[in-house]
Each structure stands twice: as structure tokens, then as C-alpha cells.
Amino acid sequence: MPHYLIIGSSIAGQSAAEAIRERDAAAAITIVSEEAHGLYSRPGLAYLLRGDIPEKMLMARTRDDGRQLNAQTMVARAERVNPDQHQVTLANGKTLTYDRLLLATGSVAMPADFPGHDLEGVVKLDNLDDARHILKLAGRRKTAVVVGGGITALELVEGLRARGMQVHYLLRGEHYWSNVLDETESRLVEDRLREEGVFLHTHTQIKQALGKRQQLIGVETQTGEKIGCHLLAVAIGVRPRIELAKAANLKIERGIIVDEYLRTSAPDVYAAGDVAQVFDPRSGRSTLDVLWPTALLQGRAAGQNMAGAQTPYLKALSMNVTQLAGLVTTIIGAVGSGRDEDLLTISRGDSEAWRLLPQAWVVSDQHEVNRIRLLLDERQIIGAIVIGDQTWARPLHELIGAQVDVTPIRAALLSDHATAFAHLTQFYQTWATARRESTPRA
Ligand SMILES: Cc1cc2nc3c(=O)[nH]c(=O)nc-3n(C[C@H](O)[C@H](O)[C@H](O)COP(=O)(O)OP(=O)(O)OC[C@H]3O[C@@H](n4cnc5c(N)ncnc54)[C@H](O)[C@@H]3O)c2cc1C
């Protein structure tokens, strides 16, 4: 009976274990993770911070699910992998042997490096314990400073504001999340934040965090401005947790390099989720995604392959549905380019695929807070951002995912933005009807 060992109990690790169990009822599965709270939704931490949901709603599996999975779980840190011996050593001194190993160690927040970053009151948001800690520190009439970019920084800003704190959001650059959003979209978010009472400081960089008896009392910016605060939240990007793989001499770049079967460079060792830099046979590229649904699908594919299948993981169209300053936003395919000064690395809820932008033409449609932006190449729509009204999110996901040739309406789309969506509506309806009619009924 083979022994499957999984390091990391979040969505990639759990999905792999479930896929193994589906194929092999008798297999011995062990899941080792530092995480003591089981599987919960990390994207959901934002809703917890804002007070929209209670903690128990984050939990993604029931006790019954756990019984059915019938895996041995251990709360421990894996310290070393020895691929030659097929062994993993834990921080508690135990050594486990495996037939197949999955590294699903995810990613962690990049640490701040300014003086005072280790003061009590300087926080990050990686997991449930971090969220609990932030909620303990947050409170009415207190002041918080948030630095960083991407979704997590904004979630911190909004969560702390919802808890009644005065919030200063410091942006190094001119605009929020400028490598994914265009200037108009960033402004939409920034205006909403100002309306919510957030103090936005652009072109502002922290020089140091100020403290008294190891306790944070404020920040000083590069220009010498001082802002008193009780909490400083840092979200400057994440890095895949590749240490185990690196020490075991596995092939790594930005993440652990895996092929389309999620196999690393060592025999019987697989990787999936945030930690994996996955080869996509369709594009020929190896990219990182820091997305929950992607980690789930990769984990499932890795589990199937560990248990004997030969199923390639074919990268689905990268997509995220999130809220930016209260505006529901769907990001699909390739939408941005360049660098965001507020992020040192990739951020959570982000995909490198969103910035693999070849030459593209833009079509946009804006009504107050509702905005749609399409990116077109010579033949097809390659990416879209839908902010506010979500009517177009599903049709665009379908058109982009199916790589539909839009050349018949391309000129019309580009010539007059005011009528572009009328053309697209007609085109989509015709295409969707034809697709429905050609799909055999079950
Ligand atoms: C605040 C926040 C907001 C997010 N927002 C979004 C969003 O809007 N949309 C979206 O799609 N995604 C979002 N994400 C990202 C999403 O949660 C991740 O992509 C997903 O959790 C990745 O799953 P994973 O299983 O690969 O790794 P992780 O969830 O990072 O889990 C890895 C696990 O491995 C454990 N581990 C690591 N090293 C070791 C070791 N040596 N020994 C033992 N255990 C170890 C860790 O403790 C952890 O429990 C967000 C994440 C956060 C934290």
C-alpha cells in the first residue's frame, strides 16, 4: 500500500488528498502542516476583517468530510526533504518516509525591511492567526497605516476602516495596483476609498516605523512627515515557500518548477498551488499564480497523477472575482503590464498571466462606477476587467476562454467605443446560440 505524504493542509494539499482518496480507497495518506486550524478560505479573511462573516463561515470542510478522507493529519513543520531516501524530517525530530510526496507549502507575505519593522503593532495578513491578531489590535478611534499594493493591501485598508479606525493608505506610486488596473480603474478605487474616509498618500514611502518600548507609535515617511498610528499593516507582495525544495536541490526559479503533471525535478516529488511554477504546454510558459481556484485545480491534478493517472494540468484561464473598494471586479486573462511600485513581488489574488500582455488594443465602456475594459489582439479578446455591473463577466469569460475569433466585429469594436458593446452583444448571442445548438443533448 503506497504512502502519500503531503506538506501543507490548505486548498492545494487538501484537494490533492481528496483526489488520491477518490482513486485509491486503501491508500495511506499523511498531511503535515504548520496550520492548526484546518482548511479555511484565505480569500475569506477579508470578509472576516470587515465583520461581514463570522469565523466559522470560513471553514471549508466539515468533520464528516475529514472522516471520509481518512487521512492522518499532523500539526508540525517539515524541515528537510531527502528525495534520495524518500524521507521528510519534521521540526519535532520525527522522520517520515513516503512513496509519493507533494509540496503544497503555499506562499507567505514578503517581510518589510524598514527600520522598526519588528515592532509590536506591525502586522501582515497571511492566515487566520494574523486576522485574529489584527482584530485584537484594531479598535475605534485608533489610527492605522497600510502600505503595499494589490488586493491584500486594499482588504486591510477596508477591514480596518470597517472596524472604525482612521486609516492612512500610503502608495509609493501615483496609482493603486497600476500593473493590473489602468489609470481610470485605479482612480475609481481611489475615489471610493476617499469617500469612505481613507487618507490616501501617493508618492509616499516609509522611512521607518517609530516605537516606544518595542511598541509601534507611528511612522516616518521619506519626506520626514510623521503619522502617529497604533497599527501598521504591510502587504508588499508574497513569495512562494520554496525553502524545502531549494535545500533538497529541486529545480526552482520564482517557484518550484513543475511540468504539466505537477512533477518536480526529483522522482516521486510533486508540487502544487502558490508554491509551484507550473509549465503550461499550450503557452510554453512557466508561471506563478496566487489564486485559490488555481491552487485547488493544481492540487487535484497532482493528487490524481500521484495516484497513477497521467492527467496533464492544463492551465485554465486565470480569473479572479473580488471586491475593490466595494466594487465587484472580475479580472480575466491578460489585462495589465509593467510594474507596480507598491509591490516587490506578485500579490495575493494575482496571476503572472495577467501581465503577459502582447500588443493589445483597448476597448472600454464607462458609466459612473461601472466599467468594462477589453483587450484585443489581432484575432481575439485576450483579457477583460469588469467593474461594478457584472452582466458581461460570464460572456467575456466564455469568449476569452474559447479563444473565439472576433475578426468579423474587430473593426467595429475599435472604431467606436460607444457602439462597441452593441456589436459585441449581437456577436455573443449569435455565437452562444450556435454553440448551444452544436452541443449534443445528454
Ligand atoms: C488575505 C488573502 C487574500 C486573498 N485573496 C484572494 C483572492 O481574492 N482570490 C484568490 O483567488 N486568491 C486569494 N488569495 C490567495 C489564495 O488564498 C491562495 O492562492 C491559496 O490559499 C493557495 O493555496 P495553497 O494550498 O497553495 O497554499 P497556502 O494557502 O498558502 O497554504 C500552504 C500551507 O502550507 C503550510 N506550510 C508551509 N510550509 C510548511 C512546512 N515547511 N511545514 C509544514 N507546513 C507548511 C502553511 O502553514 C499553510 O497552511 C488570498 C490569500 C490571502 C491570505
pLDDT at 133 over 80: yes
Place of cell 497604533: 230
User: Which pLDDT does position 388 carry in this prediction?
Assistant: 92
Q: Which residue's alpha carbon is at the smallest distance from atom 19 of ligand 1?
A: 291
43-56 pLDDT per residue, tens: 999 999 999 999 99
Counting residues of the chain whose pLDDT is more than 70, the rounded percentage is 98
Q: Does the CB atom of residue 105 touch ligand 1 within 6 A?
A: yes
Question: Is the pLDDT confidence value at 88 over 80?
Answer: yes
Ligand 1 center–CA 236 separation, angstroms:
16
What integer is the mean pLDDT of 337-357?
71
Regarding the beta carbon of 126 and ligand 1, being less than 6 Å apart is answered: yes
pLDDT digits (tens, 9 = 90+) for 4-15: 999 999 999 999
CB-based burial label for 284 (10 Å; 0-12, 13-18, 19+) = exposed
Kindly state if the Cβ of 240 falls inside 6 Å of ligand 1: no
How far apart are the CA of 88 and the centre of ligand 1, in A? 21
Residues in the chain: 442
Output b/e per residue, 155-167; b: 16+ Cβ within 10 A: bbbbbbbebebbb
pTM score, two decimals? 0.91
Q: Given a cut of 90, is residue 152 above it in pLDDT?
A: yes
Q: What is the pLDDT of residues 230-288, one digit of tens each?
A: 999 999 999 999 999 999 999 999 999 999 999 999 999 999 999 999 998 877 889 89
Angle at 48 between CA 45 and CA 54, to 5 degrees: 125
> What is d(CA 322, CA 305) in angstroms, rounded to the nearest whole number?
31
- Cβ proximity of 424 and 409 under 8 Å: yes
C-beta of 107 in contact with ligand 1 (< 6 A): yes
Per-residue model confidence (pLDDT) at position 356: 63
pLDDT value of position 359: 60
Closest alpha carbon to 406 in 384, 431, 386: 431
Residue 398 has pLDDT above 90, yes or no: yes
pLDDT in tens, 319-341: 889 989 999 999 998 887 767 77
